[in-house]
Amino acid sequence: MEPRFGRLYANAVLRPLAEQVVGVLAVQPGETVCDLMCDGATLGVALGTVVGNQGAVVLVDTDDGLLQTALRDVSAMGCTVSTLVASGGAIQLLESSYDRVGSLCTLGFWDGDSLLDVAEVATRPGGQAAMLAWEAEHPPAHEAALVDALRDVLGFSSQFLMRCLATPDPAHAARWEPVTLHDVVCFDGIGSYWAAMVVDRSIGGELAGESEAALSAVRAACQQALRRWTAADETMRIPVRATLWRSPLGTCD
């Protein structure tokens, strides 16, 4: 099964952020780590690269098909890999069992109790958990352009995009430390942008009934909105900002 975000989006947007998350978590070789709501396991691969063949990565998601694909990708890093299927908003994670626990922009795809609470309980004393999310007040331009174009051209609000842009509930995030991460998202042109943002992601299914003319108009609106970050050769370099919510040290230490 293909990841919700798609592999093109993962390569262009998520992979550099995953490497930053691993750095903030200070992951060490040989540790046992967990990728919560792993989707395509972009974070899991980054974690597995660091923990190495003496370490272990546990992948968690609600879809077993996604987990099997993710398991193959993370196993290629040489670490021990296992999977857990979350069902009905519950995960059978062992309490205080993981050195590092992380999630990469997938908070909105979790339907149970706060994923922050789940991560905090699963993290061992002395460990660290971190949840990355886009900023609700300042959504990244590459996503905002598509959200606005769908609204303005089609009068359509994508449930998938709303999930992608979900942020932690303030009540649960109050004790967590926000860390701002910066990066630059690159696309070879509007064709590359459209393939990564629409064709290769789950939003493609939401738009399956739209005409080619309507989709072309949405694509043109996105291109116009992103013009300020588009070079003469049509390549796009879009600065982005995200918030990494880091678990309270007083709890995990």
Contact 66, 39 (CB under 8 A): yes
How large is the average pLDDT for residues 18-38? Answer: 96
How large is the average pLDDT for residues 19-36? Answer: 96
Distance CA 223, CA 55 (A): 44
Helices (H), 127-169: 141-149, 159-164
Percent of the chain beyond pLDDT 70?
Answer: 98
- The reported pLDDT for the residue numbered 171 is 87
Give the sheet arrangement for strand 123-134, strand by strand.
80-85, 56-61, 32-35, 98-104, 123-134, 236-246, 177-187
Token pair for 143: 């996503």
Q: What amino acid is encoded at 214 in this protein? A: A
Inform me whether the pLDDT recorded for 157 exceeds 50.
yes
**CA dihedral of 224, 238, 174, 118, whole degrees rounded to 10:** 100
Average pLDDT, rounded, for the chain = 93
How large is the average pLDDT for residues 19-31? Answer: 96
- The reported pLDDT for the residue numbered 253 is 42
Higher pLDDT, 112 or 99: 99
Which backbone phi and psi does 132 adopt, to 5 degrees?
A: -95, 135
Percent of the chain beyond pLDDT 90?
Answer: 85
- How does residue 251 score in pLDDT terms, banded at 50, 70 and 90? very low
**What does each C-alpha distance from 248 to 94, 131, 192, 252 come to in angstroms?**
19, 12, 39, 7
Per DSSP (E only), the strands in the chain are: 32-35, 56-61, 80-85, 98-104, 123-134, 177-187, 236-246
Write down the residue that tokens 């908003």 correspond to. Answer: 89
Write down the residue that tokens 């694909």 correspond to. Answer: 69
How large is the average pLDDT for residues 197-210? Answer: 93
Tell me which fold the domain 7-134+166-183+241-252 belongs to.
Rossmann fold (3.40.50)
Beta strands 98-104 and 32-35 are parallel
- Per mean pLDDT, which range of 51-55, 136-140, 181-185 is the poorest? 136-140
Which of 105, 96, 79, 78 lies closest to 21, judged by CA?
105
- How does residue 211 score in pLDDT terms, banded at 50, 70 and 90? very high
pTM reported for the whole predicted model: 0.93
- The reported pLDDT for the residue numbered 249 is 63
- The reported pLDDT for the residue numbered 250 is 45
Inform me whether the pLDDT recorded for 135 exceeds 90.
no
Inform me whether the pLDDT recorded for 84 exceeds 50.
yes
Q: How many CA atoms lie within 13 A of 7 on its CB side?
A: 7
Inform me whether the pLDDT recorded for 248 exceeds 90.
no
Distance CA 79, CA 57 (A): 7
Domain residue ranges in the chain: 7-134+166-183+241-252, 141-163+185-237
Which backbone phi and psi does 112 adopt, to 5 degrees?
A: -95, -155
